[in-house]
Structure 1
Amino acid sequence: MATVQTLILEGKLNTRFAGLDLDPNYYSIQILIAISCLIINIYYKQVGKKTSIFLAMALGVFGFFSVSKMYLISFLFLLIIAAVAFVRNNIVFGIKFIFSLLFSGGIFAYFFYDNIYNLFSQRFISSGQDIAGLTTGRSILWKMFFAEIINDFKVLCFGAGFGSGKLSNIMAHNMYLTMLYYMGIIGSVISIFYFFTIIEALANNLKQKKYYQLFSINSIPLYILLIANISLDSFVMDFFPIQLLLILFSLTYKGG
């Protein structure tokens, strides 16, 4: 994992922070899901609000130390989605949230701007400025998996099956292609339908008539999962069910 965890900048070896995980990228998505859930708790003003704010800010900083391109892009989406959701649901709280972001972002930039900027600049341009370089070679893998899927009718409809292993000993680095490759269109549709059936059943048990709204506070963890996994394979990771469980709780959480 040395090629994933380290980065040479100006002759100095920098270690990408990954917590207790092996891969900084998969560490980052867990950070993003955790921050998303904390934002929901902060919005609904539950017990431990100050603790939630502190944890969200601390996790955000640790996420930047992963020097993950996926984290930077997804984190920006997270802030935008959260700001839109806050303003849409409570304009006063939304304005406070935006000003808090600007203030904390200014403090973070004051102390870490040069180092973080140089590291991320190196990450984005070191592999080239074409699509393959910007995606760290992932676009090549996406084309390979896409071709394998559409060129085999059986794989397209039913999938290759989890027992088939990796394609040429590599992963797709894209959750949607991974789902299609292993389960096909039929299996993927059934899985998605099953997930939303669980949400509906949980919402009915909680006596919620409407459990999902576009740009709602509760939907933020789901959006982050969908955005971040454009470049990840969380679908086949052992922590994925935990993320789904948190999203189920988030979508059906009423607050108060």
Structure 2
Amino acid sequence: MSSIVLRKYPYEYDGLSADRQGLSLLSCFGLSLASAALLLGGLFSPVFALSAFVIHVCMLLFLTERDMFSQMAFLLPFAAIYKIGGFPTSLYTILLFILVAVLALKRKTIRCTTLFSVLILLAYLLVQFSGDFLTIVKLCAFLLLFLLFTERAGPDYLKKMTLLFSLGLITSSTMGLFKASLPKINYYLSQADSLYIDGVLYSRFTGLVSDPNYYSAGIMICLAALTVLYLKKELGIEYWLLFIILSGFGFLTYSKSFTLFYSLLVFVSAFTLLKAGSKKRRLLVIIGIAIVLSAVILAILQERIELINIMIRRFQTEDATTGRSALWLWYIDFLKQRPFTLCFGVGANNNMINGRAVHNFYLEIVYHLGLIGAILYLIPVSFALFIRQRTSKRVFFNYFPVVLLIMISFFLNELFDYYLPFYLIFCWMILNRQLPQAKGLNPNFPPTERR
């Protein structure tokens, strides 16, 4: 086993498998669909879930890093049902622990900033004496996963990871459409999919995720990544197919944040294409926008599309935070009255005020870790996102997923969620993709594994 060597900048890249091409995209699709079939079987017998787990452990031991992360991105939407019986922890979380261990043990070098950042946070959490040990390990492992990824992975991982994540979302969402025929699914999911508007009960689509807001957040990140690949001309007609399918699932959540994001994504994408494209492409974009706007306006005027009517009523009858502001005030008052807790937090655990989650990542991290812990966590994350860069020039769209993540974090609990490290990974890859009118490489960044 290779020894771990601490190095300072500049970092010398030494990949695990730079001489290996890894699996083809078609092979990855086949492996992913086989995994989905086993997870579906796991709803009826734990033998299938255990078989899937064994296969996935072998996958983490023998695949290239690009393929490991791509397969984990595919499995992410299935995490809620990737369980055995009444075992509370998802097997996906255990796979993430194994992935971190494999990456750490196979690396010949680990940056001193990465190791020290995680160890300092771990020591701080242990000194709190009020945290749950498994939750502490989870938090540190997820942070280490993101930092290790940014050390040696390249933004060229984006295509395979995005396509596999898209396939995972579509496959899991298709399974979610048949919840009535698969009652075991509801055993693993909480019932947070109902919506009352003017006394009428509506059912919100959640895929295989417990909450429609968390489900729509994954679709938002995926759509942004797909759009980057399209702007880079790495996707063609398949982009529109995936975009339309995922958009349909996203709107079925009746999420206000998804609607706002979607509008912003279309606007920014159109602006980028108009600015960087040829005259022919600009004309097509303008015509497409005109057609879509005409269809939306016509649907609103005729009031015949229920989905649009529901969204309009949500914006008309609900406040901007959908009642979350009351929860925020609970936590703010709690922290104001307890200066010690404000500084040091209540610990990495499942404690909540009045049994209600805060639904705000920023308040969540201060509540659990305190201001000191929040700083210890956010500094290495920010450093990895914005300092470990591959491109020296960026356009606005490079920052779009980061802005999106900052926005949705106002409404979601993400600190202990296995989605967060992957959201950060996608943001980092998109930050470092060269988009139209953004040329120039950072020579200090290590070369990436070629396709």
Normalising TM by the smaller chain, what interval? 0.7 to 0.9
The correspondence for 1:232, drawn from 399, 404, 412, is 412
Contact 1:154 1:160 in 2 (8 A): no
Relative distance call for 1:145 and 1:12 in structure 2 (3 A) is closer
Residue identity opposite 1:169 in structure 2: G
How much has 1:30 moved relative to structure 2?
A: 0.6
Counterpart mapping for 1:179-190 below 5 A: 179-190=365-376
* Bigger Cα displacement from structure 2, 192-201 vs 37-46: 192-201
The whole-number CA distance in structure 1 between the counterparts of 2:283 and 2:399 is 20
The correspondence for 2:401, drawn from 199, 202, 221, is 221
Relative distance call for 1:82 and 1:143 in structure 2 (3 A) is farther
Contact 1:160 1:181 in 2 (8 A): yes
The percent identity for this pair of structures is 24
Tell me which residue corresponds to 1:157. 343
Residue identity opposite 1:61 in structure 2: G
Tell me which residue corresponds to 1:17. 205
What TM-score do you get using the length of structure 2 for normalisation? 0.48
The whole-number CA distance in structure 2 between the counterparts of 1:179 and 1:236 is 10
Q: Judging by fraction of residues, say which structure has more helix.
A: 1
Contact 2:345 2:366 in 1 (8 A): yes
* Bigger Cα displacement from structure 2, 239-248 vs 31-40: 239-248
The whole-number CA distance in structure 1 between the counterparts of 2:233 and 2:297 is 28
Tell me which residue corresponds to 2:225. 37
Q: Which runs of 5+ in 1 are unaligned?
A: none
Output one character per residue of 1:78-112: Cα deviation in whole Å (capped at 9) or x when no partner: 33444455556558667754543443454567679
Output one character per residue of 1:26-54: Cα deviation in whole Å (capped at 9) or x when no partner: 111111010011111111111x3221222
Structure 1 position 253 matched with structure 2 position 433: yes
Residue identity opposite 2:311 in structure 1: F
Structure 1 position 144 matched with structure 2 position 337: no
The whole-number CA distance in structure 1 between the counterparts of 2:264 and 2:224 is 11
How much has 1:232 moved relative to structure 2?
A: 1.5
Contact 1:42 1:53 in 2 (8 A): no
Relative distance call for 1:216 and 1:188 in structure 2 (3 A) is same
Tell me which residue corresponds to 2:265. 78
What TM-score do you get using the length of structure 1 for normalisation? 0.79
Tell me which residue corresponds to 1:209. 392
Counterpart mapping for 1:81-96 below 5 A: 81-86=268-273, 96=284
How many residue pairs were aligned? 243
Tell me which residue corresponds to 1:114. 305
Contact 1:71 1:228 in 2 (8 A): no
The whole-number CA distance in structure 2 between the counterparts of 1:169 and 1:103 is 47
The whole-number CA distance in structure 2 between the counterparts of 1:50 and 1:158 is 51
